[in-house]
């Protein structure tokens, strides 16, 4: 590459840092503009196995492993004792057989340090963006001055909105967001302990209304509820009141978190499912959560954010039109939207149950293993947007329920 390009990335989350590493390695001049507004807690994310090769490429896996909880799989609980366990070691051998549950502050710092080591310049300031009449995004002069040692006093050629759900370019240009069908809120906090099926699993439990996650972290558990907005408000006015009352009153939570004590304030997120109508323009592009957010039921958020960063880096380095990146990312987001919908409408669990009750003969065992290998690619993060595995999942949940009523496993 003979011409070095100046890149501005807004936000310093995992998507931003991943992109910065890749572009710096290719000789781009990258400035990351970040605000670090204090948030009382961060979720403490559970990662899917397909993030492992990304961490290895970025050279940070050992560092992440040192402060994280090893994650061998996931479990989904319905009707109190009906537990479906998914161990990554049972997935095809070309997929990583594990992942991690990461304390989020440390994970962000690891990736940002990697970006700075690769040559990205971190500038702690809130940028001001404006748009000209043809939708080109303009960075304010003071921010350009602050990055002068990076860009040699020139304006950036490309501005990347990686500011997460702040979605700053989308708001500036008034780009509509396509919303999902559910109007849920997430209430979450870190707690001292809960019951666990396996000390490393991400646990998803259907509760009386909605579902909850338990993500084991060092010396604590991230415990969050995803519930209909109207249901949350029945439990009080503040996030704390709602969280604590639900913890005490929900029958499933009484069983899995009987002695649980909350260690942190409660955070509340809404707008749980959304995809921006447009992800790129003449000199700008959205990356990670800024472009779309999928319900994290299958821990897909970080995968989408970091995978998008790798794809965007390739697009920029190969000088491919941004519209191609946009369509691949939208397809990935849409795929996870659809997969999440099969969790909510009960079809996913019903199809698993049908598989488990097939007569036990050689052919069915072979068939079940063959299907499981393909479907597990989706939940490891390897194939959500690949037509074959995804098509197979669609056939199973739409035509493979053998007249069973999926409502039995529906999430209210």
Query: Which part of the chain contacts ligand FAD (CB under 6 A), choosing from 88-96, 247-255, 295-303, 379-387?
Result: 295-303
Regarding 381 and contact with ligand FAD (CB under 6 A), the answer is: no
Going by C-alpha positions, the residue among 298, 384, 396, 392 that lies closest to residue 351 is 396
Regarding 43 and contact with ligand FAD (CB under 6 A), the answer is: yes
The sheet that has 29-33: what strands, in order across it? 121-123, 29-33, 6-10, 158-161, 284-286
Q: What tokens does 368 get?
A: 């079940």
Q: What tokens does 16 get?
A: 């931003």
Q: Work out which of 23, 24, 28, 33 binds ligand FAD, going by CB under 6 A.
A: 33
Regarding 167 and contact with ligand FAD (CB under 6 A), the answer is: no
Q: Work out which of 186, 217, 286, 397 binds ligand FAD, going by CB under 6 A.
A: 186
Regarding 170 and contact with ligand FAD (CB under 6 A), the answer is: no
Regarding 216 and contact with ligand FAD (CB under 6 A), the answer is: no
Going by C-alpha positions, the residue among 323, 67, 333 that lies closest to residue 220 is 67
For ligand FAD, the closer of residues 47 and 54 by Cβ is 47
Pairwise CA distance, residues 198 & 193, whole Å: 13
Q: Phi and psi at residue 300, in whole multiples of 5°?
A: -90, -10
For ligand FAD, the closer of residues 53 and 400 by Cβ is 53
Other C-beta atoms lying within 10 Å of the C-beta of residue 284: 24
3-state secondary structure of 175: coil
Q: Work out which of 115, 159, 168, 411 binds ligand FAD, going by CB under 6 A.
A: 168
**Window 98 to 127, contacts with ligand FAD (CB under 6 A):** 126
Regarding 301 and contact with ligand FAD (CB under 6 A), the answer is: yes
Going by C-alpha positions, the residue among 328, 116, 74, 59 that lies closest to residue 204 is 74
Give the DSSP H/E element, type plus range, for residue 84. Answer: strand 82-87
The whole-angstrom distance between residue 318's C-alpha and the CA centroid of its chain comes to 26
Size of the site for ligand FAD (CB under 6 A): 34
Pairwise CA distance, residues 125 & 128, whole Å: 9
Regarding 10 and contact with ligand FAD (CB under 6 A), the answer is: yes
Nearest-approach distance from CB 59 to ligand FAD, in angstroms: 19
Quick note: the x/- pattern for ligand FAD over 47-66, rule CB under 6 A, is x-------------------
For ligand FAD, the closer of residues 103 and 288 by Cβ is 288
Q: Work out which of 265, 269, 368, 373 binds ligand FAD, going by CB under 6 A.
A: 269
Query: Which part of the chain contacts ligand FAD (CB under 6 A), choosing from 160-168, 236-244, 276-284, 330-338?
Result: 160-168
3-state secondary structure 300-329: CHHHHHHHHHHHHHHHHHCCCCHHHHHHHH
3-state secondary structure of 11: coil
For ligand FAD, the closer of residues 299 and 376 by Cβ is 299
Pairwise CA distance, residues 27 & 6, whole Å: 10
For ligand FAD, the closer of residues 6 and 299 by Cβ is 299
CA torsion sign for 323, 177, 309, 29 is: positive
For ligand FAD, the closer of residues 277 and 407 by Cβ is 277
Pairwise CA distance, residues 306 & 316, whole Å: 15
**Window 63 to 102, contacts with ligand FAD (CB under 6 A):** none
Q: Work out which of 12, 75, 159, 393 binds ligand FAD, going by CB under 6 A.
A: 12
Pairwise CA distance, residues 194 & 307, whole Å: 32
For ligand FAD, the closer of residues 256 and 304 by Cβ is 304
Quick note: the x/- pattern for ligand FAD over 323-342, rule CB under 6 A, is --------------------
Pairwise CA distance, residues 14 & 115, whole Å: 10
Contacts with ligand FAD by CB under 6 A lie at 10-16, 33-35, 37, 43, 45-47, 126, 162-164, 166, 168, 186, 188, 215, 224, 269, 288-289, 296, 299, 301-303, 305
């Amino acid at each position: 590459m003979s011409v070095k390009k100046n890149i501005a990335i807004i936000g310093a989350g995992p998507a931003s840092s991943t992109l910065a590493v890749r572009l710096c390695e290719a000789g781009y001049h990258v400035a990351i503009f970040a605000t670090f507004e204090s948030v009382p807690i961060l979720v403490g994310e559970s990662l899917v196995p397909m993030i492992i090769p990304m961490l290895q490429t970025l050279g940070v896996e050992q560092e992440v492993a040192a402060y994280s909880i090893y994650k061998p799989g996931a479990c989904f609980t319905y009707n109190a004792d009906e537990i479906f366990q998914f161990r990554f070691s049972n997935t095809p051998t070309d997929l990583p057989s594990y992942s991690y549950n990461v304390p989020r502050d440390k994970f962000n710092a690891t990736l940002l340090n990697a970006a700075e080591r690769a040559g990205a310049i971190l500038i702690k300031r809130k940028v001001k963006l404006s748009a000209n009449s043809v939708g080109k995004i303009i960075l304010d002069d003071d921010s350009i001055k602050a990055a002068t040692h990076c860009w040699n006093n020139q304006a950036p050629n490309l501005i990347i909105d990686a500011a997460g759900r702040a979605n700053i370019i989308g708001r500036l240009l008034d780009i509509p967001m396509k919303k999902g069908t559910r109007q849920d809120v997430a209430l979450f906090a870190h707690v001292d302990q809960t019951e666990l099926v396996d000390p490393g699993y991400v646990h998803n439990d259907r509760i009386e209304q909605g579902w909850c996650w338990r993500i084991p972290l060092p010396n604590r558990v991230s415990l969050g509820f995803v519930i209909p907005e109207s249901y949350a408000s029945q439990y009080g006015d503040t996030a704390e009141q709602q969280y604590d009352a639900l913890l005490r009153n929900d029958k499933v939570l009484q069983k899995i978190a009987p002695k649980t004590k909350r260690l942190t304030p409660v955070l509340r997120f809404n707008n749980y499912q959304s995809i921006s109508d447009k992800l790129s323009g003449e000199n700008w592009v959205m990356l990670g959560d800024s472009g779309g957010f999928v319900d994290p039921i299958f821990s897909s958020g970080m995968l989408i954010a970091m995978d998008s960063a790798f794809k965007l880096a390739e697009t920029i380095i190969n000088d491919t039109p941004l519209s191609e990146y946009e369509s691949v990312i939208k397809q990935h987001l849409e795929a996870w939207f659809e997969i999440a919908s099969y969790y909510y409408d009960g079809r996913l669990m019903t199809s698993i149950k049908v598989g488990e009750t097939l007569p036990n003969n050689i052919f069915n065992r072979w068939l079940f293993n063959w299907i499981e290998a393909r479907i597990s690619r989706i939940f490891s993060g390897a194939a959500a947007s690949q037509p074959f595995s995804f098509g197979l999942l669609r056939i199973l949940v739409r035509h493979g329920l053998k007249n069973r009523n999926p409502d039995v496993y529906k999430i209210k």
